[in-house]
Each structure stands twice: as structure tokens, then as C-alpha cells.
Amino acid sequence: MGAWDQRENYVREGKPSYLDERRFTQVGRSVPRIDGPAKAKGESIYTADMVLPNMVYGKIKRCKEYAHAKIKKIDCSKALALPGVLAVLTGDEAPNKWGIVPASANETALAVDKVRFYGEGVAAVAAIDEETAEAACDLIEVEYEPLPVLLDPFESMARASEVIIHENAPDNIMHKGDQIYGDVDKAFEKCEYILEREFKTGRPQQCYIEPMSAVASYDTQNGLLRLWASSQVPHYLHRQMSIVLEMPMSKIRVTLPTVGGGFGGKGEAASSEFVACLLSRKLGMPVKVTYDRDEVFFTSKGRHPCYMKWKIGLDKDGYIQAVDFDNTLDKGAYAGWGVVVMFYTASMVHLPYKVPNARTHVRNVYTNKPTTGAMRGLGGVQPRFAMECMLDELAEMMGISPYELKMKNAIESGYTAINNMYTPHTEYKKCLQTAVEKSGYLEKHGKLPFGKGIGLAGGYYITGTAYTLYQSYKPHTSVTIKVDTEGGVTVLCAAAEIGQGCNTVMAQMAAEALGVHYEDVHVQTGDTEIGSFDLGSFASRLTYGSGYAIREAAKEINEKLKAMAGGVLGCRADQLIIKDRKIYSMFEPKFTIDWATVVQKYVNSVGALIATGHFSPPRRKGIDIITGNRVQGANIGHSPTFGFSCQVHEVDVDVETGRVYVKKVTEAGDCGTAVNPMSVDGQVEGSIVFNMGAALYEEMKFDANGKHLNPNFHDYKCPTFMEMPDMDTNIVESYDPTAPFGVKETGEGAVQPTFPAITNAIYDAIGVRFYEVPITPEMILKALKEKKEKEAGCGCGCS
């Protein structure tokens, strides 16, 4: 027996192993990450570290004069004349539009005719070194005709008759939509408690440590293009490259070296990648383009600021009856993930509480700022902030604890929302309960001294999407497993390891499914040519998707091995179990043989074992069989399953300086089976600190002309080690029986409750509710002053 069998988690007494699909030995181990040692030793190769023979360097000339202007003329002659300069590139040479969502794709490799945000690329240079390339950029002369700059989405809509940002959006609205389920107005009529509030969220960005970098190498002999890039979505990048370069995908190969984080920011192609490829094709030489940090800020696709109007109604017992939600999103300059993010904000209304009637109006509005896009917990963070704060306020109106109100309304396993979203399994109530009990929330809430507060909030997130972004219903993830006597077990999948740990959990799941050890498995990801198909690392989809495909592929291999073993042992193959590197009869221990022996026999007699498994997510939209009508809803927002999280934040507010210190966070999460509990803890702690920054200080700032004021880590403040609160993260017992290995997600669910938990805690501390993040010290002081003045108010002491 392996050491893992002593761990109580894995041993469920009284059940023979063949009856217990949950008796895992490899899934559930806190093994160190596959990529850990190389990273710890500084030996990992990132794209920017790569040097190819004859490689030259590309640099992008950016518009630093205007945030909105017509390009009248670009003169590159002086740049070309500079010794060491090999080529220049302008936007009109590659005018095909790219974008992660094909229906709204409107970005070009470099600006064509017009710049729409400060720092947009207008031309590029390839030179023998970066220094020369940079000097050449300075020599490119661009003539602009400035246009009025629209920085605020409401101004953008109001002035659309006068200025438009994109020709095909005459109202400056990228996209809008209404979704109505049930009869909201009628439901409000019957409500006992109704609350209406407006909320606003800020403009943080992902702050991955590794800036974008791309190395492209085009071979003029065979017409093949190789691209090494720091991306979360090798497949979408591959696809978009094919569109912009007008080359078949089969002639392009995308490879990911080590990637230093993404959090959604590398979830679509980047200008650096197109420029590197275009210049390489022009020159027939490898070209590298690496961004400086300010370029990351200029082009980063951070979180959409949202301007939200909410109305929530409860019946006399506190059950939610209706939600009315109106959201205006700040799209920035280009569409990017815009449609998706916008509709996600609408779908987030439907979980994790039962909402029988809901109406959402959403619109995503162009402005002359960097494009907003996918940022960790995409579309969820903003509405979650509002809903969880409002439930806190509603609980107070009712005179009950927010905990009670949330427990009352929380969904249960098997819940189908009014928009047809289906939750196969949830332990959300257990999350609420655990976080509340472990933090002592009920004992502390409302009872701490002035300046100290405790706040509760919950949330959830998807575990993958139901659709591809280009409307194809092919499998979203395919995994090939190869077993032979040379390499052992190799898992091949074109997934993107961006630091989230997918290679490690894929190895654990493959080991589990094949009955070997985690240490026996090699994982090959991040290459569109080597790996089987995968959509990319976003939407917290990979553990579930790859787990499903791994299980399928492994099943095929196991059957072959069992047949071989059955022959050797002289027993029935369907009575054999593979576990702990052994193949044995589930009834008679004497029939046991080493897994490796059977593999050898199989390879010697038949050849290497190879199998591919596929994962296609379930679809919810479709045609009603009886009525023939289309079933509405559950397209954007639906997911195979959902992860849940509850957080209790304890804050100290310095009421004189306005600074908020998050002292302690108690979290309880339902991530299904924790494939690697250590990784889960890392994801959860990271998630909390990620949004703690955006709740309190992270904000991209612009002046009245759209120029960035803080495009560096000195003035854009992320939390540092010094701000790290005390963390108590708890993985609640959970197993989704519909999921491979019972898994869900954990990388994005835990960012959801952070804004409202902190905001509710601040309210508990100082009695002021905020409806806007980041909540800065200045805002705290101002609010305290106003509160004091109000309390002094009529002078009768009635407050």
C-alpha cells in the first residue's frame, strides 16, 4: 500500500475499491508543481530569454501625442536610413482585423488610419538590436489630426453624433442587450423590501510579471512560420495569426515557452505577436518583440469599469423575488472580449442565489482608453460586488444577519436558474457556514469597536464555457496519452500552462486514471503542433476539460492493458483494477502483476499505446422538443459546473488617515475535488490579494487627454508582501458526481467575494457604505467627515 492510503481523505472504509470512484491516490495529493524546480532555480526559459541564430529585434512606434487622432501621414524614411535598421512596418500592410470574438473583431496589428487610445502602435521597426530599433522608432515621423477624446462612456454615448470611435458603431456602443426572465415589475409589486443602488468599479489591470514577448521565425524556403509567445490562448492566437497574415493555420505553429502569468491579460493576441510575425516574414529572419512595462500598461486589457444600477426585491420572509440590473461598461478602444464580458455581467445575476425574476440591460461603450478585456473572474466581479453589498444592506433592513439572508437564498445542487443555467452540484451553503464559523463572524459582526469591522460575501464562477468564441461545437479539449517503454506515460495537449498549474494537475489526473504515480507522468503542453487541440486557459476551464479527456483516453489504454494482463494472469479482464503501478484482480489478490510488466508485454507484442480523449461541454440552449420553440438563455454564462467561495474579511480602518488594513481573511471554497490542495490554497490566496488590490488602491489613471499617468509599478500600486493579510483558506468537502474526478474550478471563484467582503467590513467598521471601488483613504476620510456632519445635523441628538 502506498503512503497516500493512510491519509483519511482517500480511505472510505467499508467499500471495495471498485465501488468507490472517489478513492483517489494521485488526485488529492499536494505534490510540488512540475514546473516548480526550474522556476525556483531561475532556469525556466521565458520568451524574452530566447535567442535564435540571426535573430533581430522589433520595436513598436507608439502614439504618445493623442488618444484619438487621424493618421495623416507616416514617414519612415529617416528610420530606414539609420544604420542597423532592416525593415519598417505600418498598419496598412496588414489591415485584416483580428479579435478573439470574430463577430466583433476590429483590431489591426498596427493602427490603420486612426489611433483610438494613447500609446497605440502606429508603426514598427526591425533592427540588429533593440537599441537601434528604439532609436529608429524615434525617427519615424507621424502626422496626426487630433480628434475629440472620449474618456467616459456616458460622454461617449452623448457625443456620438459629433465624434465616433468606430465607423460601424454610430452610437459609440459596441454592443448591447436585454435579457428578461419572468415578470420583474409584477414581482416587485409584491416585495416587502426593495433596495435600489448605483455602483461603480475601477480600472485595474492584471499585472502579470512577465511582459508580452514574441519570437517569430518565418522560413522563406518552406513557408512555415513558427511563433513563440507569452500567451494564454495558443489556439486563438494561432487562428488570429492566420487571419492577419493570410496564411493557413497548418503553416503556422505556436509554441509557449514558460509563461509568467496572464490572469486574462494574455487571453487574446497581442500586437507584439503580429508585428514579430509580419517583420519576420518580411525579412526571412527571426524577430523578437518584447514589451516594456509601459507598453503593457498602454495595451493591457484590464477589467471593464462598470456603472451599474440595481434594484433587488425580497418578500416579507427575505426570499429574493426580483432583480433589475442595468450596466454600462467602459469598453475602451476596441471590442476584444467585450461581448462576452458584457453578457457575463448579466448572467451573474442568476447564481448563487435563487432569483425567480430577473431583468438585465447591458451595453458596452467605446472610449479612447486602452481596450478592456478578460480579467480574472471576467464579468463576475462587478455584479458580485453590487449584489453582495446589497444583500448586506437588505439584511440590515430586515433586521437579520447577512449570513441568514444568504443561507436562505442560496441555491442547492440540481438548481436550474430562470435563465436555464443548471448547477449540477453545489456546496455553497457549506462554504458560507464554514467561513462564518471559522471566522466567528456572527459573534463579531456589528459588535466590534469603531474602526474595526468584519464583512461577509459569497460568490461563484464558471468551470469553463459552453461554446467556442467562433461558434463551433467541436470538442474544446482533446488529450492524447502515449504509453511506451521509453518515455513511460506522456500526456499531450495544446493547453497553456501560464503559471496556474495545469500541467501538474493534468499529470495527477492522468496518473490517477492510469493507475500509476504522478511522478511517472510527463506532460507536453503549449504547442499547437505537438499537442491535441485545446481552446486555451481562460474561464477556469482546463482542470475540468482536460480531466474529462484524460479519463476517456486513459479508459481506452486501460482496457488494452487489462486485456493483456488478463491473458497473462489467467483471469477476466473486466475484474482487473489498475492502481499504484499494479494490475490486480478486485476479488483475488493472488492475481497481481506490475503495470510496467504489462506495458512491456503490450509494447513488445503490439506497439506503443496511444489514445485520445475529447471533451465537449454540455449545451443548454436549443430547441424544445415538444413546442419546437428555441430555449432561451444559458449560452453565455452556462458552464458544465460551477465553483463557489465565501469570504469573511476583517479590517482595521485608521479613521484619521483613512487607510484600510485587511487583517484577516477566512475563506471557504467549493472547488469540487481538490486535485492538488496546495495549488488550491495558492490560487485562493492569490485571488484574494489580487482583488484586495483593486478594492483598495489599484487603478489606471488618465489625464483629461487620455494620457496615462501611472504606467509603471511605481505609481500603479499592487499589494506587496507587506499588505498580505493573515489567511485561513478552507477547502470544503465537495465532489461533483457529474464531473471528471469530481472537479470544479478554483482560480476565479475566489476573486468574486473580495470586493463586497471588504466593503461590507468597512461598513461594519465605520458605518459608511461605499458603492465604488477602489475605496481610497481619501474617500474614507471624506465619508467620515460627511457622516460626522450629518450626525451633528439637526442638533437634537436624534441620530
Partner 1 sequence: MFMNQFEYFAPKTPGEAFELMGRLGSKARILAGGTELVILMKDRIIRPECLIDINNIEEFKGIKYEPGKGMVIGATTKIADIQYSEIVKRKYYALADAAGEIGSSQVRHMGTIGGNSCNASPSAETPTPLVAYGATVVVSSATGEREMPLEEFIQGVRMIDLKEGELLTKFKLPEPSPKLVGRYAYMGARDANEIDFVNMAVTLELEDDKQTVKSVKLVMGSVFIKPLISTAVTALLTGQKFSDELAAKAAEATQGEAKPITDVRASAEYRHEIVGVLARRLLKEAFGAAQEV
**For binding to partner 1 (CB under 8 A), which residues are involved?**
130-131, 134-135, 292, 656-659, 696-697, 701, 709-710, 713-715, 717, 719-723, 776-778, 781
CA 274/CA 279 separation, integer angstroms: 8
Describe the strand order of the beta sheet including 213-219 as a list of residue ranges.
85-90, 121-127, 56-62, 287-290, 213-219, 224-229, 252-255
Q: Report in angstroms how near the CB of residue 154 gets to partner 1 at its nearest.
A: 24
Closer residue to partner 1 in complex, CB, 408/659: 659
3-class secondary structure, 630: strand
Closer residue to partner 1 in complex, CB, 600/710: 710
CA 297/CA 304 separation, integer angstroms: 14
Cα→Cα distances 415→324, 419, 427, 668, 726, Å: 21, 11, 12, 21, 35
Closer residue to partner 1 in complex, CB, 407/779: 779
Q: Report in angstroms how near the CB of residue 44 gets to partner 1 at its nearest.
A: 21
Closer residue to partner 1 in complex, CB, 133/674: 133
| Nearest of 753, 692, 648 to residue 433 by alpha carbon | 648
Q: Report in angstroms how near the CB of residue 562 gets to partner 1 at its nearest.
A: 57
Strand partners, 218: 225
Closer residue to partner 1 in complex, CB, 317/778: 778
CA 54/CA 92 separation, integer angstroms: 27
Strand partners, 60: 124
Q: Report in angstroms how near the CB of residue 126 gets to partner 1 at its nearest.
A: 16
| Nearest of 482, 522, 516, 485 to residue 603 by alpha carbon | 485
3-class secondary structure, 628: coil
Q: Report in angstroms how near the CB of residue 710 gets to partner 1 at its nearest.
A: 6
Closer residue to partner 1 in complex, CB, 486/778: 778
Closer residue to partner 1 in complex, CB, 122/390: 122
CA 634/CA 69 separation, integer angstroms: 40
CA 134/CA 783 separation, integer angstroms: 47
Q: Report in angstroms how near the CB of residue 100 gets to partner 1 at its nearest.
A: 29
Residues 403 and 215 sit within 8 Å (Cβ to Cβ)? no
CA 397/CA 313 separation, integer angstroms: 12
Q: Report in angstroms how near the CB of residue 410 gets to partner 1 at its nearest.
A: 35
CA 340/CA 172 separation, integer angstroms: 18
Give the max Cα distance, the chain.
Answer: 96
Closer residue to partner 1 in complex, CB, 134/171: 134
DSSP per-residue string spanning 420-469: S-EES---HHHHHHHHHHHHTHHHHTTTSPTTEEEEEEEEEEESS-SS-T
Q: Report in angstroms how near the CB of residue 761 gets to partner 1 at its nearest.
A: 18
Strand partners, 144: 71
Closer residue to partner 1 in complex, CB, 408/707: 707
Closer residue to partner 1 in complex, CB, 131/519: 131
Q: Which three cell numbers stand for residue 40?
A: 525556483
Q: Report in angstroms how near the CB of residue 322 gets to partner 1 at its nearest.
A: 39
Closer residue to partner 1 in complex, CB, 140/611: 140
Q: Report in angstroms how near the CB of residue 124 gets to partner 1 at its nearest.
A: 15
Q: Report in angstroms how near the CB of residue 722 gets to partner 1 at its nearest.
A: 4
The residues, any chain, with a CB within 8 Å of residue 252's CB and separated by 6 or more, are 224, 225, 226, 227, 238, 241, 242, 245, 528
